[in-house]
Amino acid sequence: MALVEFSDQRGRRWRVWDVYPTLVERRRQNAGPPPGLRERRRLVEARLGIRNRMSSGWLTFEAHNGERRRLAPIPDVPGGWDLAPDHQLEAWLESAEPAPPTRRLIE
């Protein structure tokens, strides 16, 4: 996982990193645990799926004030997205969708 920090034109600091979901097919088909592992869930119920365009990963942008955005799929650029200049990161930020706030276990 790469992590990059940059400032947008308004001077806000952003962190951006890549996210690659695991076991996407299992969630999509609700097929249970991988071979050799026992089911840990007490109740087998439908799970939330991952959108098709997000199944191969996305970029998460997070501002220091807590604002978050997601861009999927991860842009395919020579050398990798993490080597993109700040103006390109800001362009991707502008096209990213708002993401829900981070869930906390204890409120």
Residue 29 placed within a domain:
yes
Residue 64 falls inside a structural domain? yes
For residue 14, the model assigns a pLDDT of 98
The confidence score (pLDDT) of residue 26 equals 47
Taking the model in full, what pTM does it have?
A: 0.71
Q: Which of 58, 64, 55 is nearest to 17 (CA)?
A: 58
Express each pLDDT in 54-105 by its tens digit: 778 899 999 999 999 999 999 999 999 999 999 999 999 999 999 987 776 6
Question: For 32-47, how does the pLDDT look when each residue is reduced to its tens digit (9 = 90+)?
Answer: 666 677 777 666 666 5
Residue 48 sits in which domain range?
Answer: 3-33+43-98
On whether residue 65 sits in a domain, the answer given is yes
69 found inside a domain: yes
Yes or no: say if 84 and 93 are a contact pair by the CB < 8 Å rule. no
Q: Give the torsion sign (CA, 51, 71, 22, 65).
A: negative
Q: Which segments of 1-107 are extended strands (E)?
A: 3-7, 13-19, 58-63, 68-71, 97-98
The pLDDT, as a whole number, for residue 70 is 96
Counted domains in the chain: 1
* 21 falls within a domain: yes
> Is residue 104 in a domain?
no
